[in-house]
Amino acid sequence: MPLDEGQKREIAEARGQSATTRRPTVPALEEILFEPLPVLDHGFVRVVDYMGDDAAVVQAARVSYGRGTKRVSEDKGLINYLMRHRHTTPFEMCEIKFHVKLPIFVARQWIRHRTANVNEYSARYSILDNEFYLPARAQLAAQSAVNRQGRGEVLEGADADRVLDLLKRDSEQAYADYAWMLNEDEKGEAADPARSGLARELARMNLTLNFYTQWYWKTDLFNLMHFLSLRADSHAQYEIRVYAEAMLDVLKRWVPMTHDAFVDYRMGGYSLSAKALAAVKLMIDGKPLDQKASGLSAREWRELMAALGRE
């Protein structure tokens, strides 16, 4: 994850500053505040600001003037109750802001989560860096035969070499053409004074989706958990899942009690339909049951059997 000297200096200056405040802070999150957490080959996630903690969730739920109770077990029990019964508003009282560097195709998938405030790097105003994502060989896979939006067997040998070569060659050529069309260097000066460059807003359209962009992404705790429940899931695309996993680690530092409840009831839990619940009750009673008799669709039956470890 290369950072230029200017970026390193800005981060060092930000981490070197401190302020006296009456607002609650979280020491474990303060440890990594502003620090880039590496993701993929050139990407990162870093926390730049936050508001609230586990106690703020409890305070909002009780609409109290203090900060939680004297017994951590009571606060933990309340947070578990809120998570278990899907009470959302107390979690909306906490907010966090990330600075994320990510491939454009990941950003276009990420932006579908509309419950956040986003400000993205503008290629109309600035020149994009010559940084593009190349998958590791272990991530080069064929199209899944059973999942239209998934991966199948990993490519090997000459096929993998050919794909990596194409991705690298096309990206390098795209950026070279982009730079030629712009006709300006990093300082915004003409590379060739004899000709005019194409407008930045037009030159950018030739770049491929694996080039990196950056944005600030601010959301509340409830909507962050909704994002993580989908994108940190094992079925999510690898390139967005690794970002979600880094943010899941941030969640654990920030609100450890909420994190544990989230992992238990959301990430590790399973929601049953009325028919599925009835089927489980019949199984517990020892009555024979198959997919047709359950009234479930074939797909829901397979999912239920997988969740119960009875494939």
Cα separation, 132 vs 211, in Å, equals 4
Beta bridge partners, 216, equal: 99, 119
Half-sphere exposure for 120 (CA within 13 Å, toward CB): 14
Distance (Å, whole) CA 98 – CA 100: 6
Measured between its terminal Cα atoms, the distance across the chain in Å is 41
Residue 175 near residue 133, CB atoms below 8 Å: no
Beta sheet of 37-39, edge-to-edge order: 37-39, 43-51, 95-103, 212-220, 117-120
Tokens matching residue 61: 């739920």
Q: Which of 231, 299, 302, 310 is catalytic?
A: 231
Q: Is 231 a catalytic residue?
A: yes
Q: Which residues are catalytically annotated?
A: 231
